[in-house]
Structure 1
């Protein structure tokens, strides 16, 4: 009898552990979204709340796929690691699905395509790429702008410095420690609008450049297909365009 009870309990424990092991993100009621809330109009702080295009998009997609949403603010360069170590379930943070990132996580379809801008002081005299030669350029750590600056450094003899937050870059420019920074255009314009001493100009878009924002998921997550389906629905019924008009209208120049 004791042997039978022991075998029975072992079987029960094995069943419970197996059931837990087979649970997926798709089964979770509440999904944790990782973001870096220094990237208006995609995500930024409004008092104690995190608001922005990515936040509204994530809430809409979560609702369509039957989930609640919890948002965690963290440094951009830590988002992929947070996803891989199960600290977050999804990432929406204006993130581009680069080849290196695709090796680590999966991505949704691109929901927004962007360009890069050079931000500098009005009094800096920097008005073109030629004026950047020998200058110190700031970029966000772990961003595609960091990769872009490194590509440009050979041609323009750039000294590339990185920081965790976009706000850090603009403060370094204003303090004179950076000559300029490379920032996504629609985000850069938000900072320029709030800082009268800053100005910007767009980098030429290369023919093979396909920068854009997508949602990041853990490798082989069931959420990827579910969110892609919901995203396609939002594109077809006009909901995505409404969100873009709400957050981006009048920002691009």
Structure 2
């Protein structure tokens, strides 16, 4: 959620650090695009190994028989992604192996369909055109399924993201949700929709006769973590996957925690397909549906600590 207009009203904004133009990424509508966002403070030591879980998946021969001929013959799906956004997709310590919950989901889908997933790392802005040109077969890259994008490509929705509240370990301020932010100092990245939400919440607090939210706006998630770590703010607003990953890995999981609850202003991430590739889209949708039904999907999300974004069923163009 990196795109928004700025606001004031009863919101008190503290600008911490030099403000950098262009702190936005590719967000559109609800939810967020994670391209270009790294979960600072993460640790490779907390990375789960789901190889055994994935290898135990039984291939569905009936689904595999419905794959488009080029994919079935090659037994490979060319996957485009922007491999730099933990815990969605990022490189292992070797600098060459893509890992993340999206990577594990793609592997699980591939196992169900009896195909390999071959990753291509590319700029986020190139993903849609690469689908349309046939350079890649699908993309799974923390991309929002939006009505605007549905005019260009199709989606199979696999995750619900949105704004999440992160607090110090033990939640010393007792923050239980958005309404508990009244009178609190909250850190956001300058120019994001997190800041827009904080403004709206502040207005809501004032209208209810409660103190306004004080917002500390910085130019990076890393600065926000420093603010929270030192107690200068009571909470950080961040996207669900990043917040969950940071809380699990920073200080070996002893520094931060995510306030339980569904994502705020949530929206779906979608696996993208060219409009001309409905056969692969439908096969992936059914494979994902089977993984949701048998519990494999949730196990993968739980292993990465992002189960708050789990969907109950897959959907095509569900935004």
Give the aligned partner of residue 155 of structure 2. Answer: 107
TM-score, normalization: structure 1? 0.61
Unaligned runs of 5+ in 2: 1-67, 169-179, 203-214, 228-232, 310-319
Could you report, residue by residue, the CA deviation over 1:112-158 in whole angstroms, capped at 9, with x for unpaired residues?
2233136799xxxxx9488789x97357xxxxxx5x358659868x9
Distance 1:187 1:137, change over 3 A: closer
Aligned residues of 1:235 and 1:241 also touching (Cα < 8 A): yes
Aligned residues of 1:105 and 1:217 also touching (Cα < 8 A): yes
Distance 1:111 1:128, change over 3 A: same
Q: How far did residue 38 of structure 1 move?
A: 2.9
**Aligned counterpart for 1:84 among listed residues 111, 128, 132:** 132
**Aligned counterpart for 2:221 among listed residues 170, 184, 206:** 170
Greater RCO structure (CA 8 Å; 6+ sep): 2
TM-score, normalization: structure 2? 0.50
Task: Report the aligned-residue RMSD.
Answer: 4.4
Unaligned runs of 5+ in 1: 1-21, 122-126, 140-145, 163-168
Structure with greater Cα Rg = 1
Distance 1:85 1:37, change over 3 A: same
Structure 1 distance, partners of 2:104, 2:127, is 19
Give the aligned partner of residue 45 of structure 1. Answer: 91
Give the aligned partner of residue 185 of structure 1. Answer: 240
Q: How far did residue 91 of structure 1 move?
A: 0.9
Distance 1:99 1:129, change over 3 A: farther
Structure 2 distance, partners of 1:80, 1:182, is 29
Higher helix share: 1
Give the aligned partner of residue 13 of structure 1. Answer: none
Aligned residues of 1:26 and 1:223 also touching (Cα < 8 A): no
Aligned residues of 1:120 and 1:173 also touching (Cα < 8 A): no
Structure 1 distance, partners of 2:130, 2:226, is 32
Aligned residues of 1:137 and 1:181 also touching (Cα < 8 A): no
Aligned residues of 2:80 and 2:127 also touching (Cα < 8 A): yes
SS at match of 2:164: strand
